[in-house]
Amino acid sequence: MSEWFVEKLNMAQHLKTQILVEKKIHSEKTQYQEIGIFDTVGFGRMLTLDEVIMCTEKDEHSYHEMIAHVPMFSHKNPKNVLVVGGGDGGTVRELVRHNILDKVDLCEIDEKVIEASKKFLPTMSNQFSNPKVNIVIEDGFKWVKNHKNHYDVIIVDSSDPVGPAEILFKEEFIKYCYESLKEDGILVNQAEHLILFTDIIKEILSFGKKYFPIYLYYNTLVPTYPGGCIGFTFFSKKYTPFENTTQRWNSENFENWNLKYYTKQIHKASFVLPKEIIQELELPEVSLQ
Ligand code: SPM
């Protein structure tokens, strides 16, 4: 018999997400959090951490394609990449599509998330054994602190800023990411919903602006997150998100990848934001020309 799963986290205060589930097929308390795996009625299998929705099979593509392909097509030569978090595997699944990639380090603090994803989420975790993927079970904060001038792209595929991911939203972490990137590096962070959590985005941007000359925010649609969308901060030492795309799109021939969400138009349009958000976040306006 189906029942409603109601998200426990109340970050948006007056708004919660609920989703109809058929059954809970796995539950596990780890050193860091409670992992839940559900079969939903309309969204396929779902991963939750501490009773917050991380991803569902039906709509994870819009999140994982955008967190991976926007920085990968913005950078001129993204060979060495770090993913912090991302234990479900969706982000590395997208990254290994890029022929230019030599290696991706997946730094996940909770080994049990990776194990559960391997077992219950095969469509997301199916590239963990790709030879370009190096899985590291480690605190992402410590990892970036200890890897200076190392990566072309860093992607922070985190949960919300409570519990184990809280530290990934702090200035010190952004600073260590900056130092861990090479001189033309790009950092992308999961940065919440543009209207519900403008204050969180504002804070992350205020940290990033101190180090990166290029700072932006872009958006994607994820119906199973509160408010139906989520965005990412984009910090770059050298490249705008647009100057290398033509060369990179041509060299990867990505239109044969059969993606579900990411397109050339969406790459650009995702940076176009509502007027009040641009003003509140003090972001430069993006031209569609
Ligand atoms: N690889 C997928 C991991 C998901 N990362 C983002 C999770 C955000 C969940 N909460 C969304 C909004 C509530 N603040």
Instruction: Break the chain into its structural domains and give their ranges.
Output: 3-54, 60-281
Q: Which of 49, 58, 63, 195 to mutate to test the pocket of ligand 1 (most atoms within 8 A of CB)?
A: 63
74 lines ligand 1 (CB under 6 A): no
pLDDT, residue 191, reads: 97
pLDDT in tens, 214-225: 999 999 999 999
Q: Indicate the average pLDDT of the chain.
A: 96
pLDDT, residue 163, reads: 83
pLDDT of 112 above 80: yes
pLDDT, residue 83, reads: 98
CA-CA-CA-CA dihedral for 185, 189, 193, 197, to nearest 10: -100
What gap in Å lies between CA 139 and CA 92, rounded to an integer? 18
For domain 3-54, the CATH class is mainly beta
Topology of domain 60-281 in CATH is Rossmann fold (3.40.50)
User: Where on the phi/psi map is residue 73: left (φ > 0), alpha (ψ -120 to 50), or beta?
Assistant: alpha
pLDDT in tens, 32-56: 999 999 999 999 999 999 999 999 9
Mean pLDDT of 129-138: 98
What gap in Å lies between CA 272 and CA 226, rounded to an integer? 20
Q: Which of 33, 107, 160, 169 to mutate to test the pocket of ligand 1 (most atoms within 8 A of CB)?
A: 160
pLDDT, residue 12, reads: 67
Give the pLDDT band (50/70/90) at residue 8: confident
Active-site residue list: 157
- CA-nearest residue for atom 4, ligand 1, is 54
pLDDT of 106 above 90: yes
pLDDT in tens, 171-230: 999 999 999 999 999 999 999 999 999 999 999 999 999 999 999 999 999 999 999 999
What's the distance, Cα to Cα, between the start and end of the chain in Å? 52
Residue among 181, 184, 201 at smallest CA distance from 192: 201
pLDDT in tens, 10-28: 776 788 899 999 999 999 9
